Amino acid sequence: MKKGTLKITMLLIAILTIFGITYGNVKNKNSGAIVEDYTVDTGADYIEYDDDYYVNRVNPVDESKTIGINRAKEIALRKVPGANRTHIGEFHLDYEYGRPVYEGSIYYNGWEYEFDIDAVTGKILKWEKDRD
């Protein structure tokens, strides 16, 4: 019984050791902060497809080619009769669906509306309604 317990304990230690080496801590080059990362260096470049990173660094949005934040807010408010600009929560330019979008929310009359509006055409790409 003791040999079996010892073998299981040694196996668990080995697994945890391997996991600890793979898990590791990676230093963020831009901020100097330590961030946890599950990736293992394979020699290939690693690209994180974070929408904000993609918009701001890789493919910046030319805001002169967008409908503008005020027009996007008008489009969203037309879908919620009675709501006005004071009911708008989060609202920002983002990059999703392979294109720039205005992403936002409206809180009105006990409901939460979340939406994405194409920043170039003004077409509503996503519209969700939930009880607040």
* pLDDT tens digits, one per residue of 42-96: 444 444 444 444 445 556 667 788 999 999 999 999 999 999 999 999 999 988 8
Which secondary structure element, helix H or strand E, spans residue 6, and what is its range?
A: helix 2-23
Residue 126, token pair as written in the block:
């996503």
d(CA 79, CA 117): 12
What is the Cα–Cα distance from 99 to 72, expressed in whole angstroms?
15
Q: How far apart are CA 42 and CA 9, in angstroms?
A: 31
Q: Is residue 97 within 8 Å of residue 116, measured between CB atoms?
A: yes
pLDDT at 120: 94
What pLDDT, on the 0 to 100 scale, is given for residue 109? 95
What is the DSSP pairing of strand 99-108 with strand 111-118? antiparallel
Tokens linked to 99: 């294109």
DSSP result, 98-118? TEEEEEEEEEETTEEEEEEEE
Residue 128's pLDDT is 96
Amino acid (one-letter) located at 30: N
pTM passes above 0.75: no
pLDDT surpasses 70 at 103: yes
Phi, psi of 16 (to 5 degrees): -65, -35
